Amino acid sequence: MPEGVFFDLDGTLLDTLPDIRACLNASLEEYGCDPLTERQVRAFVGDGARRLVLRALPGKQALAEAVYRSFLTRYNASENPHTRIFDGMENVVRGLKARGVKLAVVTNKPQEAARRAVEQFFPGIFDCILGDSGMFPCKPDPTSVRYAALGMHTAIGRCVFVGDGEADVLTASNAGMAGVFVLWGYRTREQLEQAGARNFAETPAELENFFAKFI
């Protein structure tokens, strides 16, 4: 069993896509831009809110800062009415907590939105919640992961990163820690393999088996 497990949030623990899309489209429409489909938003998420907005505005970069600020305000205040926990993941994190494993969320989601979502859906479970606050570079830079490990008094070589995107694969590699990547999220197995992923979980049960065999 690992000493610590670091989870990505969107696409790993929570299906947040409907609420991200709703807030983003409201901000795009506010500035006269066309709304995005679910498929487009799925392809654009993973690298932080600013890059999400930039990807949503090809050829309209002059609007990016205003749309980004609007989106940030909307999403930080969102009550997440359409967000849900992926089936089985609450049991996974509660099981790890019961075994004394230190738990962190490390996400490129804005810090306030990340904090609100984790406290809403996983109250009292996580030891550390790190989103994009401007304090550290976004993933795949490993600084936030190293900071979380230090704060939780865990050896990074005894920890596992769990995510669903290319940034998560690279974060685990850059931090020098084991990684396992879920296939119920926002990227395909092929996309994750191209980023260098080797360990996969198709179900929460497979994720638990990975933790149980971790040496």
CATH number of the domain encompassing residue 208 = 3.40.50.1000
Split into its structural domains, the chain has a count of 2
146 and 203 both lie in a single domain: yes
* 37 Cβ neighbours under 8 A, 6+ residues apart: none
Question: Any idea what the Cα angle at residue 170 is, between residues 24 and 205, rounded to 5°?
Answer: 85
Range of the domain at 172: 4-15+84-213
Catalytic residues: 8
Per-residue pLDDT, averaged over 66-72, amounts to: 97
Average pLDDT over the chain reads 97
Model pTM? 0.96
* C-beta of residue 130 within 8 angstroms of C-beta of residue 68: no
21 and 108 both lie in a single domain: no
pLDDT tens digits for 3-50? Answer: 999 999 999 999 999 999 999 999 999 999 999 999 999 999 999 999
pLDDT tens digits for 72-81? Answer: 999 999 999 9
* pLDDT given for residue 215 in this prediction: 66
133 and 200 both lie in a single domain: yes
Per-residue pLDDT, averaged over 54-77, amounts to: 94
* 128 beta partners: 104
